[in-house]
Amino acid sequence: MKNILLIITLILTPILPLFSQVKEYIGKEDFSDWKGAQKVKKNVATLSNTDTLSYTYSNQNRIYFPGIHRPFYGDASDWTKYKGITFDIFLASDAPTEVTSIIKVDSLDYSELNPVSTAKIRLVRKGWNSVFIPWNMFNIDIGQRRGTLFAVKHVLLTADAKEKYQIKNIRVTKGLATFLEAEVQGKSAKAGTTVNYEFEVGNTTDHKQGVQLLVQRNGWESMEPCLSNDVVDLEAGEVKTVQLTVRIPDHIPQGIREKQVIKAVSNGIGGSEETLEFITVVSVPIPNIVFTSEGWENVREKAKKYDWAKKDFNEYIKRAERWKVPKGKDFSNTKERPLGQSVFNTVGHEIYNCAIAYQLTKEEKFASKCIQLLRRLADPETGYPATLVGGSNSFVGEGKFWQATGRTYDLVRESSQLTEEDHKKIQATFRLFANQTIKGNSKGAISNWNVAELTAAFYCAMNLQDWHLITQILEGPTGIYNHLMHGIMNDGWWYECAVGYNTWVAQEFSEIALALQPWGINFKDQKFPIGTTKHFSLLASRREGGMYGMEFEKWGKLERNNVCIKDMWDATVPFLDYRGVIMAVNDAVESKVSGKPYELAYYLYRDPEYAAIVNRGGDRDLLYGVPDLPAVTSEKMKQSAYADNMGIVQLRSQKKDRPQREQVQASLHYGSHGGFHGHFDRTSMVNMARYGRSFYGTLAYWFRYSSFMYKFWKQTSINKNMVVVDEKMQQPVQNARTMFHTGDMMQSTVVETNSKWSYAPYGGIKWEGHTFAEKMWKESRTIEQPENAPEYGEVTAFTEPVMQRRAMVVMDDYIILADYLEGEQEHQFDWMMQVKGFKGIEADSVRYFSHTNQMNTDPLGAAQFITDCDWYEVQGTSKTQFEMCFGEGCDNQGVRMPNREDGPLKMDIYNAWPQHSKIMIGTSTESINVNKKLWYSILADGQEVVNDSTGAWILGSKNISIDLSKTKQLELISKTERRVNNNTLFWGDAKLILKDGSEVYVSSLPIKYENILLPEENGKDYYGGPIKIQGELMANSTPAMPENLKEAGKVIIDLKDLDVVRFEAKVGGDFPLGDETSRLKNMAVRTQGKQKKARYLAVVEPYESEALVKKVTAKSANELTVELKDGRVHEVVFAGLDEDGQKVKVITKEYKDGVLLREESSDAKKEVGL
């Protein structure tokens, strides 16, 4: 490690004696590595107006974010330290000449940066002209400028001169004539003391210059700046250091900030003026980021007075006492600098918890633990300064980790255990991370990941009390303020349209607001201009859309001119149920936000609606919990609501005098796509809940972002509750909610889209450095790869736009879904639902007619992942029944369905139209880890006849058929990884074909097993269920799971007494495991034959014990009759569903014994009595 000490020391040194050179040639001065010049003589290139002079960088070896998924892919040059490009150009006449300078990034970076940036200047003077083109002359958005300048690959120069012209001295420079630079531009000190800065003055010209310096003043400043020199004489290219001293008067209060602006003029030429800004502040006492000392005393007092606070107090202490400080990664055997290796593997919750325990108790044992981690983190040889990765190899993980460590240092900083050397190293490390983060946010991205990282950098800068650094993080082109302006949509939702990210980002913004309060900044109430462009991000791929089928625009209405933090908290309120739980949309699970999130919101805003949400929760939060909450409730949890930008419409039944838990709630999805976190499911019923139990979640099962299944399967349309076209994926386009009605009898809405359909991105997200075949093997998940497969990650086979309109009606006890689809071509339509616990199908006529191992074997489509499919032909209205339960004793293995109340949820699904259809019940993938690498071989009389491997999971099976004539002994050998989660491997229906044509299953023979784990029951899987390999029931399978995973397993078969000619088997993994009663099923209702149009009418009844619906019939695709067991009859008519979405009308009538009791229309309401 000693060989990297010098490098790290340079990184940490507060003031460097000199910055890099003042200017630098692009390529060689003699143009020997440039292209396009007609001739070069004495370092002067001659060109005509048809020539382009170009240079390409190579072998630059930049260090940026090693080991973190934020790469600059191209081999390019870093120009960020310079101010512009300079050159001398000779023109043969005074004719106006346009000179064009172009910089390009590597094509590998086109999707993220400004690919081509151009600047043009006009010259009208004969002879040699000295040209300086500053970066702000190039057509690069400010939000992307620094990122683009970090990745310059190609430089091009052209001039439209009428005659030949000459160019020399093409360089990048730090300024036109001079430059000013300082490593630290913000410091704090107590009133009555002084602050000292150092900055550099440099001469960027080729001649001697005199530079005049002065400090600009507005006139109301109290701080007194003084320069060590106000005149500096510089030789060509020379750099000198100047000191700035700022005296802070003793009457100025804490938190006051003043700017000192240094101006420099060279050789009396005012146009050469350069400026450098410093921000000096009166220091604020620590701690001040989470709470001030007074705030922490309030927390401690709270714990003494209130039982709920004391309970949480004790939990902090218990967790802190249990926490063992991680030692961090061992680099003792590393010869090179360990760039890109994470020092720790944690997001830091434990250290922050421990620091809170220290503030609560002032016990030094807790500070000692925190300081131990901080010392390792700041170690120049083995910490962040060496690796540039702190706690995680993703920058969102780094954001979480540094948020924790940044606040931790603030909380333990007063401990006497910290030495001056500790403070110096920790603060230098925090500065390094903050500067790295500013660099990392230079591409123009807006996302929750960036907010996490910027928040962390903000805490680090707050510890330094460097307000120049803090201002960059808050006010930079893609800083915190711009994230708020462009990330929050008109309806208050965060643009990624996932409820978890909305809450998380709102929480981060709110905690930043708390940290700014001691400095007199009211960020919590500050209103910012709302972003008016549809694109939220400046990345090229986000502006264009289409990457992996995604769209990155904000859709829906734009009706307001400002946004603020509170908008994000308010956006969630109408969608929370009576428990404070919100449905899942996009990449999210159902979340309970009635705990800490809304404790924080109420702490900040004291909004009674927030108190009502906290009151719905259980445990209170010690830090932000406000004692003696008002005993308020909210009517909003009972009401229907919509958010047009985020794209959710939630309907709630309104039966009078019914407990809220018994009301029916259902939601449709539309609106903005959400980028990487968006699902392809406009018109899908993303939520249907009753009794605090919902049947579905958009992430009901999970494949990690890194898995190919994340975009190849999980986000696609076919595993949603919607009508799917040709088993493909719906493309996101602008869509609309065209009706919303709330009444006493019914709640109704209509959403629609007109989308193309395509295959999902082939192989999901393309991971650099891997082919799709390599990615499959890495995940231990093999699927068939066709010979002419699309490019990895490519979206293909688009249909024409297909109009898709869904009306949803929520009655007191059931839901109606009415669908209309129309395309120009004929299509296959599948009405899909995803439900656990299939019980059976009833109808006027039900005929089981087929089983397929997969819904479709097409290796390009997502339907291949639905296995074990039973197909039924149905006449008339069908009733498909499901039953699931939650709580102790309920089988919810493989699904992520948190925040469900204990108990059963039954669902009857009535499909009334079309009246002749096919129904498929298939098995979903779920999140059961059955994937494993399988190496297998077969020996015939000791000779190897098969040797292969596969990633065995729900798919990945391999068919084997080999000639065994005259073979006396057969050996089946299987080996897997040393760690597996479940036992799944079988030689599926392994059998011997005898000479007379008969077949003998290997499992029926007296075979010998070596290191093979045997199931408890022959013919069953390892968990007592049927053996199914790639969706096929294989009851006569032979086990292949090694008992000792370190060694291969072997099945030995004696063939001496058998006249065997062939061996056949399907080797692979079993799925599902054990009892299948509660498995998640994919239900499809398919129209008969391909059609241009499709209509569906369905009723969904959720209930706890006894169903109320007796019968459902459809007179037509527009007319539905629902008979209830209490004698009531509902007639429902959908008018205009196949015409114009704006004109759709729903009419409901309720009868009993032939008498009309009431009726309601979506455009009018009328109550009728007996």
Q: What is the mean pLDDT of the chain?
A: 94
Q: How confident is the model at residue 355, as a pLDDT?
A: 98
Q: Do residue 1023 and residue 1090 come from a single domain?
A: no
The secondary structure element, H or E, covering residue 455 is helix 448-464
495 in any annotated domain: no
Question: What pLDDT, on a 0 to 100 scale, did the predictor assign at position 1170?
Answer: 32
Could you report the per-residue pLDDT of 950-998, keeping only the tens digit for each? Answer: 999 999 999 999 999 999 999 999 999 988 889 999 999 999 999 999 9
Contacts of residue 629, defined as CB under 8 A and 6 or more positions apart, other chains included, come to 602, 611, 614, 615
- Tell me, what's the pLDDT at 1164? 72
Residues 997 and 1015 in one domain: yes
Domain that holds residue 578: 520-635
Least confident piece of the model among 54-63, 338-347, 1076-1085: 54-63
Q: Is the domain of 878 the same as that of 760?
A: yes
Which tokens sit at 1113? 């019939």
Residues 828, 693 within the same domain = yes
**Rounded-to-integer distance, Cα 766 and Cα 295, Å:** 48
Any idea which of 228-242, 369-383, 588-602 has the lowest mean pLDDT? Answer: 588-602
Asked if the model's pLDDT at residue 125 lies above 90, the reply is yes
Residue 441 contacts residue 453 (beta carbons within 8 Å):
yes
pLDDT at 10 over 70: no
Domain assignment present for 450: yes
148 Cβ contact list (under 8 Å, min separation 6): 103, 105, 113, 114, 117, 140
> What pLDDT band is residue 499 in, cutting at 50, 70 and 90?
confident
For 995-1059, where are the E strands, in sequence order?
999-1001, 1008-1010, 1028-1029, 1032-1033, 1038-1039, 1049-1054
Residues 6+ apart with CB under 8 A from 966: none
Distance of alpha carbon 465 from the chain centroid: 31
Residues 687 and 836 in one domain: yes
Q: Does residue 281 register a pLDDT over 60? A: yes
| Per-residue pLDDT reduced to its tens digit, 391-441 | 998 889 999 999 999 999 999 999 999 999 999 999 999 999 999 999 989
Looking at the domain assignment, is residue 504 inside a domain?
no
Rounded-to-10 torsion of CA 1141, 1142, 1143, 1147: 80
Answer yes or no: do 130 and 168 share one domain.
yes
**CATH code of the domain in which 664 resides:** 2.70.98.70
Instruction: For residue 262, give the CATH number of its domain.
Output: 2.60.40.10
- Predicted pLDDT of residue 594: 85
Give the pLDDT confidence of 660-703 residue by residue, as tens digits: 999 999 999 999 999 999 999 999 999 999 999 999 999 888 89
Q: Which of 453, 478, 503 is a domain's end point?
A: 478
Mean pLDDT of 273-293: 97
> What pLDDT, in 10s, does the model give residues 612-648?
999 998 889 999 999 999 999 899 999 999 999 999 9
Residue length, the chain? 1170
**489 part of a folded domain:** no
C-alpha 337/C-alpha 1124 separation (Å) is 74
pLDDT bucket at 1142, cuts 50 / 70 / 90: confident
Q: Give the pLDDT of residue 618.
A: 84
Task: Report how far Cα 546 is from the mean position of its chain's Cα atoms.
Answer: 17
Range with lowest mean pLDDT among 188-192, 588-592, 856-860, 932-936: 588-592
Task: Answer whether residue 1132 is part of any domain.
Answer: no
Sorting pLDDT into bands at 50, 70 and 90, what band is 595?
confident
Q: Cα 669–510–398 angle (5° rounding)? A: 85
Residue 894 · residue 981 · CB < 8 Å: no
Q: What are phi and psi for residue 999, nearest 5 degrees? A: -125, 140
- What is the three-state SS of 349-368? HHHHHHHHHHHHHCCHHHHH
- Tell me the pairing of strands 44-47 and 165-173: antiparallel
Q: Which CATH number characterizes residue 464's domain?
A: 1.50.10.100
Out of 478, 500, 528, pick the residue that ends a domain: 478
Query: What confidence score (pLDDT) does residue 1126 get?
Result: 97
Confidence of residue 74 (pLDDT cuts 50, 70, 90): confident
Which pLDDT score, from 0 to 100, does residue 345 have?
Answer: 95
Q: Quick one: 321 and 409 in the same domain?
A: yes
Q: 308 and 324 in one domain? A: yes
Q: What is the 3-state secondary structure (H, E, C) of 1031-1047?
A: CEECCCCEECCECCCCC
Cis peptide before 287 (omega within 30 of 0): yes
> pTM of the predicted model, to two decimals?
0.93
Give the pLDDT confidence score for residue 20 in this predicted structure.
46
Distance CA 432, CA 197 (A): 18
Residues 362 and 473 placed together within one structural domain of the fold: yes
The answer to whether the CB of 723 falls within 8 A of the CB of 683 is yes
The structural domain count of the chain equals 6
Q: Give the pLDDT band (50/70/90) at residue 1133.
A: very high
State whether 412 and 265 are in the same domain.
no
13: in domain: no
Is 60 exceeded by the pLDDT of residue 1016?
yes
* pLDDT reading at 2 higher than 50: no
Residue 12 belongs to a domain: no
- At 768, the pLDDT band (50, 70, 90 cuts) reads confident
Quick one: pLDDT band at residue 542, thresholds 50, 70, 90? confident
Give the domain CATH number at 135. 2.60.120
Whether 802 and 714 map to the same domain: the answer is yes
Please report the pLDDT score of residue 705 as a whole number: 87
d(CA 933, CA 948): 11
How many whole angstroms separate alpha carbon 936 and alpha carbon 986?
11
Boundary-marking domain end, from 282, 310, 325? 282
Span 891-903, average pLDDT: 93
- Asked if residue 7 has pLDDT above 50, the reply is no
Burial of 42 (0-12, 13-18, 19+ CB in 10 A): exposed
Q: What are phi and psi of 779, to 5 degrees?
A: -85, -10
- 310-336 mean pLDDT: 95
Residue 111 has pLDDT above 90, yes or no: no
Residues 548 and 627 occupy one common structural domain? yes
In a domain, 82, yes or no: yes
